[in-house]
Amino acid sequence: MTYKVSVTGYATPNAAAAQAAFAQAFKITPEKAAELLTTLPRTIKVGLDADTAERYCQALAKMGLNAEHSHHDAPAAKAAPSASATVTSAAVPAAKPAAAAPEAAPPPQPRAAAEQPGFQFRIDGAPDFAFLTVQLPANHSIKVEAAAMATMDTSIRMKTKLSGGLGRLVTGESIFVNEFSADTVAGEIGIAPGAPGDLAHVYLKGGEVLFLQNGAFVACDPDVTLETKWQGFTKGFFSGESFFLIRASGTGDLWFNTYGGMIEKEVDGEYVVDTGNIVAFTEGLDYKLEKFGGYKSLFFSGEGFVCRFRGKGRVWVQTRTSGALLAWAEQYRRVGKEA
């Protein structure tokens, strides 16, 4: 027995505030939220168990929305994912026709989402413990960071591929990216990054390039090319991170994760980020490693080197770093040899 959750109306006179809260919670733009919440009732989630459905209703009530959950039988649940995907993420079967092969006709789709190509996916547990669930249409595959697969349907097969070349040996990143494919039947795959934190999704249009900090990669469309990029001594040497960045180019979905919260920052001009906190940035930005403040700051500020971005683009920053946690734990190490 599964349940669906529908928004039936507004509990507050301030519809705009409710829409804004909804947009934030589901990580969609306020415009999209407004569009979705214009025609009510609107089904926003299907295939949930009773407890989860109840939690959704409570969360929606907090946003100032009236919501209800109702029984929902299995065949309909298969037909409906397109509706659920419209709010949870940007994904639609249109570009991958095999994804939408339901017995029943899917409910009408909001236009905003229909324009977004790529896989149907869902991010749960954000922002502290985000994990990813991707619907793989038949005859499609997905590249996943080695060891990040958590659950999958038995119809999905795994192939291990060497990706990113030998460079990945040096980055400290496992050199293997696994490819999971749904050969004949569509399936679902659950992907969990190693570190607890948030997940970001970017759909790379052809020609767009994104740089990822070593270790941030989670999954991508097979049409996205991953390469390691030598940073040179000047850029990578003092960063304390690695000599490499992962260069992602091509067309398709790309997911990456953070340790801690994720801040997405539009840069226009100059912006400075601690090297350990950089997660990703767009190619259009020029970046330079430099010391933080004067020489005194270099040794005592606790920052060391920072990255100065120049130009127009976007930077993703994480609010915590595993390096800082390790440095903190250092004081608790025992001294001397094993007794």
Residues that bind another protein (CB under 8 A): 127-128, 197, 260-263, 265, 269-274, 277, 292-294, 296-297, 300-303, 306, 308, 310, 315, 317-321, 324-325, 327-329, 331-338
**Closest CB to another protein among 189 and 315?**
315
**Closest CB to another protein among 214 and 258?**
258
**Closest CB to another protein among 9 and 302?**
302
Q: Which stretch of DSSP H or E encloses residue 124?
A: strand 120-124
Cβ at position 147, least distance to another protein in Å:
20
CA distance 39 to 85: 17
Q: Please say whether the beta carbons of 131 and 191 come within 8 A.
A: yes
Structure tokens at 100: 């939408």
Cβ at position 212, least distance to another protein in Å:
17
Give CA separation, 127 vs 150, 154, 198, 266, in Å.
18, 29, 5, 20
Cβ at position 306, least distance to another protein in Å:
8
**Closest CB to another protein among 230 and 299?**
299
**Length of the chain, in residues:** 339
Q: At a CB cut-off of 8 Å and minimum separation 6, what does 188 contact?
A: 133, 134, 135, 136, 151, 152, 153
Q: What is the DSSP letter of 251?
A: S
Q: Please say whether the beta carbons of 131 and 255 come within 8 A.
A: no
Cβ at position 148, least distance to another protein in Å:
20
Cβ at position 20, least distance to another protein in Å:
15
Q: Are strands 187-191 and 199-204 parallel, antiparallel or unpaired?
A: unpaired
**Closest CB to another protein among 48 and 306?**
306
Cβ at position 304, least distance to another protein in Å:
9
Cβ at position 260, least distance to another protein in Å:
4
Structure tokens at 65: 């929305």
Q: At a CB cut-off of 8 Å and minimum separation 6, what does 161 contact?
A: 143, 176, 177, 178, 179
Q: Are strands 131-136 and 140-145 parallel, antiparallel or unpaired?
A: unpaired
**Closest CB to another protein among 49 and 264?**
264
**Closest CB to another protein among 73 and 330?**
330
